[in-house]
Structure 1
Amino acid sequence: MITKILPGTNIELKSGARDADLSVTGVVAMALPLHWGGRVTVIHAGDNTLYPLGYKISDPALKLVREVMNGAKQLILYRLNTVGAKASAEVSTGVTAEAVFPGTRGNDLSVVVSASGEKWLVKTYFGTQEVDSQIISAAADFSPYYVALSGTGTLAAATVKLTGGTDGAVESDYTGFFAELEKREYNVICSTDSDRAADVVSFVKEQNANRAYVQGVVTGVHPDSEAIYVCNSTGGVTADYELTPAESCATLAGLIAQAGVQTSLTYHRGITGWTDVKPHLTIDQQTGRTQNGEVLFVPLYGSPSVLYDITSLTTFDEDHPKDFGKGLVMRTLQKYQSDLQKLLDTRCVGKIRNSVEGRAQIKAMVFEMTSRGYLAPGYMEDFSADDITVTAGTERDAVSVVVGIKAVDTVDKIYVTVTAL
C-alpha cells in the first residue's frame, strides 16, 4: 500500500488470484536402450542432444527420439541399459580419463592434452567434433563434461582415445521405468516394443484408476481401451531411415502430444520428415484395421497422413460409449479430469470451509475453469452453471462435485449426394 501525504484518492493496481497452472500438456515418456546417457534424461523441444544422449537429434541413432520430438514439447526418456562399462584411457602416469556415462558411444571420445604456459590445455573430442576445452594445472581442477579426469599424477602432453565402453544388459521389464514415472507429470507413455505392450496397457489403466490421467501408445496388441492407441500395421519412410509400424509408435506419440485438445489427428497431413508410408494398405485393409481399433498412416493427396484419430476401444457399452473410441474426445475428457482435479487439490482442499458459501465458491471455480478453458475455445459445448452440482457429503469434511460436460469432436465423416441435372 502506498502511503499518501497529500489528500486525494490513490489507486494501486495489483494482480488478483489466478488459476494455478493446471495439468501438463505435450509431454511424452518413453524407455529405450541407448549407447550413452544417464538413467533418466528430459529433453525439451530445441535442446541439443549431443551431451545427454551422445548424438545430435538428426542422427539416425536417435530416430525414435526425433520422431517424438517432432511433435512433443518434452520427452522423459528412460535408459534401459545403464549397467554397462564406461570407456576410459590413461592420459599420463597416474591420470585417467573416463567417460561420464557408460556405453559404447564413449569409445568415440578422445582427449588431447597440450602445454599452455605453465598450465595444461585439455580438449575433448566426440568423434571429430571438439566438445570441450579447459585450461587446468592438475587433474583435480578439471570439471567433468563428457569425460572426467582422476588421479594424482602429473599431466603431460598426450593424445588418447577412450576404449572399453559397453552398453550393458537391457532391463528385463519396465519396473524401473514405471517407478520413475510415478514421480513425474506427463500425458503419453509410448512403447515401441511389442513384448512390453501388455505391461504398458496395465500401467496406464492403473494410473487412470488412481486418477493420474494418461494415455498410452503401443504395438502388437489389441487392448480395447479408450486410453490406449495402437499402431500395428503401418510405418513411415524418411530421407534418412525407415520406420516399422512398431517404431512409428514414437511418431504417433509425438503427434498425440502435439494435438492435445486443440485438434484432431484425423486426416492430419504432412508428418514431419516423412516422404511416404509403408506399406500402402488397400481400402478393405484400412477398413478392417480401423474397425479393430488401429491408428493407420496412409498417403492422402500425395502426403503421408494419419487416417483416423481413434483409440483402441472397439467394445462399447453404457460405461464406454462410442464417443470414447475417438481420440480427440478422450484427450479432451482426460485433460478436463486432470485440470479439475488439480484445481480442486490446489485451490480447495484444506482451504475452503464446507459451508453453503464454501460450496458455492467451489462451484464458481469449476464453472470459471470450464467456461474459460473449455467452453470459450470450443472444446466443449452446451455447458452452463446448472451442469455443476456441489453438495455436502455424509462426512463433515466431504463434498460431492458432479459436472456434466459434452466434448466437441471434429467433423470426420461427410455424406454428400451429388445429383446430376
Structure 2
Amino acid sequence: MAGGTWRTQNKVRPGAYINVKGDGKPVLTTPLGRLLMFQNKPLGWGKKGIIELTATSDFTALTGHNNTDEVLAPVYEALKNAETVLLLNDFDGGAKSTSTKSGVYTVNAKYKGEQGNNISVSFAPSPLADGANTRDVTVTTIFGTKQVDQVKITLPLPKADAIAAAGLTKEDQLEIHNDYVDINFGTPAEVTKELNAKGAYPLYTAIFNGLTQNAANVSLAGGSNGTNKVVDDMNDYLENEFYTVATTAGWDESSNIHKLLVEEIKLLRENVGIKVRAVVPNSTGVVYNYEGVSTVLNGYVLNDGTVVTPNIAAARFAGMSASATPDQALTYTQLDDAAEAKPKLNNDKTIEALNAGQIVFTTRDGSRVVIEQDINSLTKFTSTKPKDFRKNRVIKTLDEICTNTTQTFETSFLGKVSNNEFGRNLFKANRVSYLSVLESQNMIRDFDPSNLSLTQGDDKDAVLMDLYVTPVDSMEKLYVNLVVR
C-alpha cells in the first residue's frame, strides 16, 4: 500500500495520503495588560531600547536597580496591576565599566552606565594537586554586595600535553558571559597566533600564572551614563511597540513629554488606526479634551505611610487601565494597599474634577481608597463624540471592535477574498458572529445583523462597512424613591 502527502488528487496507487497542518485560522493577538512607559532618569544600566519587565523579573540584572529603588518608582507602582511594563531606556553615548590585567583577563560590564562601577569580580584558585594537569579557578561576580554569578573554570597547565588533554588548541580563547559581565581571558588573538607559530603557549602561560598564584578581587570602573534620548525617540516606539496604554508617569509635569504623548496618541488613533490610549499626570489641570487620554489629578498614602504623588499614582492607574478588559469599568475599584487619598478632595472639588475629565482617588469609609470614576479627558461633547465617549469602558469596547475588525480583515480577507457580494457576505458573517459574542459578554446590547451592512466602495477594491452598535456601560448611579406609608 502506498501513502504520503498530496497536493492534488492525482495518485495512482491505492493508499492513504494525509496532509497534517493547522486549521488555517489566524491567531488574533491582544496587547491587554501591556503598558508602555518612558524612563525619566538615566538608569545607568540595561540595554538601549525597550526593557520588558514583569513583577517576577530580575530587576537588578535588567535595570541595575532593585524594583523598589526610587528611580523605578513608577514601574513598581504600575506593576501592581499591569502584567508587563515595556520600559523605554533610550540614551546616546556613555561607557562600560571595565577592568584589565594585561595578558590575563579583560572584564567588561554587560551594559554602559555608572551602575557598572558597582561590579567586582573575584578569581579564587583551588589547590594544585600533585601530578594534576589542570587547576580550577572559581570566578565570582558581585553587584554591590550581592553575589550574582559564580562559575568554575578549569585551566590546563601551560604545556602541550595538558592543553591537548583538555581538548583545547593553542588558539582557543577562554570566555565567561553572564547577565553582568563579559570576561575574556588571555592575550589578543593576533599576538597569540604569532607566538604560537614559534611553538610557545603564551595564552595559557599568561592565564595560568595570572590566575592561579593568588586569589584576586578586581573592581570595575570607568562606567558613565549616556544622554537621555527618550523624548526625541518616543514616537518611534509608540508606533511600533505592542501595548494597550502608554504613560508619562514619573516625569515632572513641567516636561513637554506629556503634550507630545497626547499628540502622538491622537495621531495613532485617528491617522494610523492604532487604538491605544494614554495616561498622564495632571495635578495642574491642563485641558486635553480627548477620549483616548486619561489624566490623574491626585495621589494617595499607602498603608505603610508612603506618599504616592500624582505623577507616580498615574502609573498605578495606567497599569490598571492597561489590564482592564473592555467589559470592565474601574469606577470604585479599590486600591488594596492604600489608606487615604492625598490630597483629599471635598464634594465640590471632586465634582469639579470629574467635570474636567480627571481621574480622582477618593477615600471611602473604612480607610478605603477607590477610583472615583473611570473616565477620560473628553469634556466637550458633539454629535460625533457624545457624552458616552467620556467613559473608558465605552471607549475600550469601541477600540476592541476596531482592532479586531482590522486584524481579521488583514489576516483573512485582504488580498484573499473577491470583492463581490459573495465575498462581502463572508466578511459580514464573520463580523456578525464576532459581534454576537460581544453581546453575550455584555460589551454591547441589542445587536441585530441588520445593524451591519457591506457594499462595494468607490473603487473596485474598496468595501464600505456601516455598523451600528450600542456599548454597555456599568451601573454607577442609584436613584431611589423610598416611600414611607
Task: Give me the TM-score of the superposition, normalised by structure 1.
Answer: 0.90
Kept in 1: contact 2:298–2:341 (CA 8 A)? no
Give 1:383's aligned amino acid. F
Q: Distance in 1 between matches of 2:439 and 2:434?
A: 9
Corresponding residue number in structure 2 for 1:88: 98
Matched, 1:216 2:226: no
Residue of structure 1 equivalent to 2:351 = 287
Alignment-derived partner of residue 9 in structure 1: none
Q: Distance in 2 between matches of 1:389 and 1:122?
A: 69
Please tell me whether residue 201 in structure 1 is matched to residue 251 in structure 2. no
**Deviations 1:345-366 (CA, angstroms, capped at 9, x unpaired):** 1111011111211111000111
| 3-state secondary structure, aligned to 1:216 | strand
User: What per-residue deviation string (whole Å, max 9, x for no partner) do you get for residues 130-179 of structure 1?
Assistant: 111222358732124201124635342311222333333322x6231221
Q: 1:36, 1:125 → 2: CA distance? A: 15
Deviations 1:31-88 (A, max 9, x none): 1032321122112353332211123434444221121111112211101445333222
Tell me whether 1:180 sits opposite 2:237 in the alignment: yes
SS in 2 for 1:36: coil
> Does residue 51 of structure 1 match 2:116?
no
Q: Does structure 2 conserve the Cα–Cα contact (< 8 Å) formed by 1:84 and 1:165?
A: yes
Aligned-residue CA RMSD (Å):
2.5
State the 1:119 CA deviation: 3.5
Rounded to whole Å, the distance in 1 between the matches of 2:307 and 2:262 is 26
Shift of 1:23: 3.4
Q: Does 1:131 align with 2:148?
A: yes
Shift, 1:282, TM fit: 1.3
Q: What is aligned with 2:412?
A: 347
**How far is 1:118 from its partner?**
1.6
Equivalence map 1:228-239=2 (5 Å)? 228-237=293-302, 239=304
SS class of match (2:147): strand
In structure 1, what residue type is equivalent to 2:46?
A: G
In 2: Cα distance, 1:97 partner to 1:64 partner: 33
What SS is found at the alignment partner of 1:207? helix
Question: Contact (CA 8 Å) 1:91, 1:160: kept in 2 or not?
Answer: no
User: 1:23–1:339: 8 Å Cα contact kept in structure 2?
Assistant: no
2:180 aligned partner: 146
Distance 1:36 1:275, change over 3 A: farther
Number of the residue aligned with 2:38: 31
Structure 2: give runs of 5+ residues left out of the alignment: 4-18, 127-133, 156-172, 188-206
| Whole-Å separation in 2 of the counterparts to 1:242 and 1:78 | 25
Structure 1 Cα separation of the partners of residues 237 and 306 of structure 2: 31
The yes-or-no answer on 1:74 pairing with 2:91 is no
Provide the residue aligned with 2:203 in structure 1: none
Amino acid at match of 1:202: E
Distance in 2 between residues matched to 1:328 and 1:137, nearest whole Å: 61
Alignment check: 8 A CA contact 1:235 1:246 kept? no
Q: State the one-letter code of the partner of 2:27.
A: A
User: What is the aligned counterpart of 1:191 among 248, 263, 270?
Assistant: 248
SS at match of 1:164: coil
1:23–1:342 contact (8 Å) kept in structure 2: no
Supply the AA of the counterpart residue of 1:146. Y
Residue 118 of structure 2: aligned partner: 108
CA distance in 1, matches of 2:232, 2:149: 36
User: Which segment drifts farther, 352-361 or 56-65?
Assistant: 56-65
Shift of residue 25, structure 1, vs aligned partner: 1.3
**Whole-Å separation in 2 of the counterparts to 1:240 and 1:56:** 20
Contact 2:34 / 2:82 at 8 angstroms: preserved in 1?
yes
Contact persistence 2:107–2:183 (CA under 8 A): yes
Q: Tell me, in whole angstroms, the C-alpha distance in 1 between the residues paired with 2:477 and 2:298.
A: 23
Aligned-pair identity in percent equals 26
Q: Distance in 1 between matches of 2:95 and 2:304?
A: 34
Larger CA deviation: 325-334 vs 76-85: 76-85
Asked whether the 8 Å contact 1:235–1:244 carries over to 2, the reply is yes
What corresponds to 2:191 in structure 1?
A: none
Report the Cα distance in structure 2 between the residues aligned to 1:312 and 1:179, rounded to whole angstroms: 24
> 1:8 is matched with which residue?
none
Query: How many residue pairs align between the two structures?
Result: 409
Alignment of 1:401-412 (within 5 A): 401-412=465-476
TM superposition score normalised by structure 2: 0.78
Residue 14 of structure 1 and its aligned partner are, at CA, apart by 9.3
Residue 149 of structure 2 contacts residue 178 of structure 2 at CA under 8 Å; is this kept in 1? no
Larger displacement relative to structure 2 (221-230 or 181-190): 181-190
Partner Cα separation in structure 1 for residue 71 and residue 294 of structure 2: 25
Given residue 174 of structure 1, which amino acid in structure 2 is its aligned partner? V
> Which residue of 201, 209, 224 corresponds with 1:166?
224
Change (3 A) 1:202 1:236: farther
Contact 1:60 1:241 in 2 (8 A): no
Match of 2:452 among 388, 391, 398: 388
One-letter amino acid matched to 2:217: T
Whole-Å Cα distance in 2 between the matches of residues 91 and 21 of structure 1?
Answer: 54
Measure how far apart 1:114 and its partner are.
Answer: 1.1
CA distance in 2, matches of 1:240, 1:123: 39
**Is the partner of 2:408 in helix, strand or coil?**
helix
Native 8 Å contact 2:35 2:245 kept in 1: yes
> Which structure has the greater CA radius of gyration?
2
Q: Give the superposition deviation at 1:184.
A: 1.9
